[in-house]
């Protein structure tokens, strides 16, 4: 009986040690996967594709709230139809599409990750408005 108890104890100890080794490997594997997903190594072509897709999807999402038939109105929307500008060192983008102006703030770099903006501002330029004329500037009186 004593031998049986010793064998059972040894078996339990070995199975716990084996399980601890498996758990350590799993934690390591999880950490490596998380690091890989958080820090993807993308080619310039992949970055360009992500960026273009993110901006087109953002404009499409924003304007779909404004049109009665967004599928018809936006079905031909392409990245080439957009004018974009990004202030250096930010995830803020200014985009122009037809007479719409957008300011998008992305939570992460849209070249690296597939994302939608966390903040958006949309302005619609009225027909015939000349932005270079300075019509709303106050005149200084001497």
Q: Over pLDDT 70: what percentage of the chain? A: 76
Give the other-Cβ count within 10 Å of 59's Cβ: 23
pLDDT tens per residue, range 108-128: 999 998 999 999 999 999 988
Q: What's the chain's average pLDDT?
A: 84
pLDDT of residue 6: 64
Average pLDDT value for residue range 16-30: 71
What is the band of 36 on the pLDDT scale with cuts at 50, 70, 90? Answer: confident
**In this structure, which long-range contacts are made by residues 119-124, counting pairs with CB atoms below 8 Å and at least 24 apart in sequence?**
120/58, 120/62, 122/62, 122/66, 124/99, 124/100
- Res. 68 pLDDT band, cuts 50 70 90: confident
- pLDDT at residue 90 above 80? yes
Which has the higher per-residue pLDDT, 79 or 18? 79
Do residues 92 and 84 touch, judged by C-beta distance below 8 A? no
What is the value of pTM for the model shown? Answer: 0.67
């Amino acid at each position: 009986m004593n031998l049986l108890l010793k064998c059972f104890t040894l078996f339990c100890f070995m199975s716990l040690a084996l399980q601890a080794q498996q758990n350590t490997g799993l934690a390591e594997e999880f950490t490596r996967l998380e690091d890989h997903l958080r820090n993807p190594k993308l080619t310039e072509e992949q970055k360009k594709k992500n960026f273009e897709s993110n901006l087109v999807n953002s404009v499409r999402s924003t304007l779909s709230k404004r049109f009665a038939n967004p599928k018809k109105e936006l079905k031909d929307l392409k990245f080439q139809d957009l004018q974009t500008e990004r202030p250096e060192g930010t995830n803020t983008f200014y985009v122009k599409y037809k007479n719409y102006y957008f300011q998008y703030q992305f939570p992460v770099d849209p070249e690296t990750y597939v994302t939608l903006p966390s903040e958006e501002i949309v302005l619609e330029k009225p027909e015939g408005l000349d932005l270079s004329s300075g019509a709303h500037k106050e005149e200084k009186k001497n």
